[in-house]
Amino acid sequence: MGFPEPILVKRLLGSRSAAFTLIELLVVIAVLGILAGLLLPVLGQAKSKGYSISCLNNEKQLILAWQLYADEHEDRVAPNFGAAQVQQEIANGTYRNWVNDVLDWSSINSQNTNSTLLFAGGIGPYLGGVENVYRCPNDFVLSTWQEQAGWRSRVRSYSMNAMVGDAGDFMAGGSNTNNPHYRQFLTATEIPRPSDIFVFIEEHPDTVTDGYFLNNPYVPEWVRLPASYHSRGANLAFADGHVEYHRWMVGSTRQPACPGVVGFSVAINLEERADFDWLRQRVSIKP
């Protein structure tokens, strides 16, 4: 004996099919599209924030290694040489610079991908062999030749303030010939306000090269340009050990992270000096 169909269900359904109509499906798709449009930017921002936090952690490790180096070298901080001397250090096998590579857009320069050189001298031995600490997680910038060679990234995104550390061939009478009217800090205790002097900074991939971040405070031009990987800003590590994010205010500072976008000595208009002056005040002090 079969069971009778419930009267209530029968009345609710009647003769109509329970399937969605085309209009109902289109409405559902439209709603899902709107929700996706609202959620994707939020997810993108969360991902970008995560990269920025990871980058800050990288710089925290770098500045701790810098401090440990000074502790074990009678307060003298790691040298900070220019490109020619870095290459000579590599050729000699002395590896005294804070980092021993010179990056470019070539696919035949092994220093672009040689992580072994990162730990050969300088602050490298204090970083436990973790090579990702030298690269911002947002930095996957490569040239066409490097992409064709199958590379994923270069090994370094950070540079050191040129006024911190022995500048080698650029030194004369205890001063840096590039900025002779500002103090060159050779020891950690020479820095009077370590919370105001930056040591490490994310640099634009076009100018990161030797890791020697230099700008002449008296000449309104970018010789080295900061990167803008994180919501139009960059992360910096300071001599006291703290790290912080700074957002650039001027559009001309926020250049795209692409090869060949930025040349050396980029002139700055008078009304666009806000970022340049902010960084200049954190480079060094007058003797």
- In one letter, which amino acid is 54? S
Lowest mean pLDDT among 34-48, 58-72, 228-242, 246-260: 34-48
For residue 52, the enclosing domain spans 20-280
Q: Is 264 a member of any domain?
A: yes
**Percentage of the residues of the chain whose pLDDT score is greater than 90:** 74
* Apex 126 CA angle, 168 and 198, nearest 5: 55
CA–CA distance, 146 with 160 (Å, rounded to integer)? 25
Query: pTM of the entire structure?
Result: 0.84
Q: Is 11 a member of any domain?
A: no
For residue range 132-180, what is the model confidence (pLDDT) as tens digits?
Answer: 999 999 999 999 999 999 999 999 999 999 999 999 999 999 999 999 9
Per-residue model confidence (pLDDT) at position 20: 64
Q: Which residues contact 146 (CB under 8 A, 6 or more apart)?
A: 105, 106, 107, 112, 154
The secondary structure element, H or E, covering residue 237 is: strand 233-238
Q: Which of 209, 203, 279, 242 is nearest to 63 (CA)?
A: 242
Q: Is 1 a member of any domain?
A: no
* Apex 231 CA angle, 226 and 235, nearest 5: 45
Predicted confidence (pLDDT) at residue 13 exceeds the cutoff of 50: no
Q: Is 287 a member of any domain?
A: no
For residue range 179-219, what is the model confidence (pLDDT) as tens digits?
Answer: 999 999 999 999 999 999 999 999 999 999 999 999 988 88
Q: Is 13 a member of any domain?
A: no
Q: Is 259 a member of any domain?
A: yes
For residue range 20-40, what is the model confidence (pLDDT) as tens digits?
Answer: 687 777 777 777 777 767 765
Q: Is 14 a member of any domain?
A: no
The secondary structure element, H or E, covering residue 200 is: strand 198-202
Q: Is 64 a member of any domain?
A: yes
For residue range 80-134, what is the model confidence (pLDDT) as tens digits?
Answer: 999 999 999 999 999 999 999 999 999 999 999 999 999 999 999 999 999 899 9
The secondary structure element, H or E, covering residue 229 is: none
The secondary structure element, H or E, covering residue 40 is: helix 22-71
Structural domain count, the chain: 1
User: Token digits for 262?
Assistant: 């930025």
* Apex 166 CA angle, 170 and 168, nearest 5: 35
